[in-house]
Amino acid sequence: MTRAVLTWVLDRLDVGERVAIASVIEARGSVPGKPGARLAMTSDGSKFGTVGGAGLELEVEDALSNLLSEDRGHSRKKGGKVQTFVLYKDGKGKEVRALDSLCGGRVTVAMEVIEPMPHILIIGGGHVCRSIVTVSDTLDWAHSVFDVRPEYATEDRYPAASELHASSVAEFLDLEDEQTLGRFSDVLLLGHDWAVDQEMLIGLLKKRGESERPRIGAIGSKSKWISFRKAAIESGLAEKAVDSVRCPIGLDIGADSPEEIALSVCAELLSLERGVNPAEG
Is residue 249 domain-shared with residue 189, that is, in the same domain? yes
Q: Given a cut of 90, is residue 53 above it in pLDDT?
A: no
Per-residue pLDDT band for 91 (boundaries 50, 70, 90) equals very low
**Alpha-carbon gap, residue 261 to 245, rounded angstroms:** 18
Q: Are 143 and 92 part of one and the same domain?
A: no
Query: Is the distance from CB of 212 to CB of 72 less than 8 angstroms?
Result: no
- The CATH number of whichever domain residue 159 belongs to comes to 3.40.50.720
Shared domain check, 144 and 209: yes
Integer Cα distance of 177 and 272 in angstroms: 23
Domain finish residue from 81, 114, 147: 114
Please indicate, yes or no, whether residues 106 and 179 belong to a single structural domain of this protein: no
Point out the domain boundary residue: 66, 88, 114: 114
Q: What pLDDT is attached to residue 93?
A: 46
93 dihedral zone (left: phi>0; alpha: psi -120 to 50; beta): left
State the chain's mean pLDDT as an integer: 89
Q: Is the pLDDT of residue 126 over 50?
A: yes
- Domain end position, chosen among 95, 114, 133: 114
Mean pLDDT of 61-90: 81
Indicate the number of domains in the chain: 2
Please indicate, yes or no, whether residues 67 and 156 belong to a single structural domain of this protein. Answer: no
Its domain, for residue 164, covers 119-280
The whole model's pTM is what?
0.85
The verdict on 135 and 106 lying in the same domain is no
Residue 276 has pLDDT above 50, yes or no: yes
Residue 257: band (very low, low, confident or very high) from pLDDT cuts 50, 70, 90? very high
Say yes or no: 147 and 209 in one domain: yes
What sign has the CA pseudo-torsion 204, 210, 213, 217?
Answer: positive
Tell which wins on pLDDT, 1 or 188: 188
46 close to 33: Cβ distance less than 8 angstroms: no
Which range, of 102-116, 166-180, 265-279, averages the lowest pLDDT? 102-116
Residue 87 confidence class, pLDDT cut points 50, 70, 90: confident
Q: Are residues 138 and 263 in the same domain?
A: yes
144-196 pLDDT, tens digit per residue, is: 999 999 999 999 999 999 999 999 999 999 999 999 999 999 999 998 999 99
Confidence category of residue 96, pLDDT binned at 50, 70, 90: very low
Residues 125 and 223 reside in one and the same domain: yes
The reply to whether 126 and 70 lie within a common domain is no
Please tell me whether residues 101 and 204 are part of one structural domain: no
Cα–Cα distance measured from residue 134 to residue 49, given in angstroms and rounded to the nearest whole number: 37
pLDDT value at 92 more than 60: no
Q: What is the mean pLDDT of residues 119-129?
A: 96
Q: Look at residue 73 and tell me whether its pLDDT is greater than 90.
A: no
Q: 81 and 171: one domain? A: no
Of 186, 98, 111, 200, which Cα lies nearest the Cα of 148?
A: 200
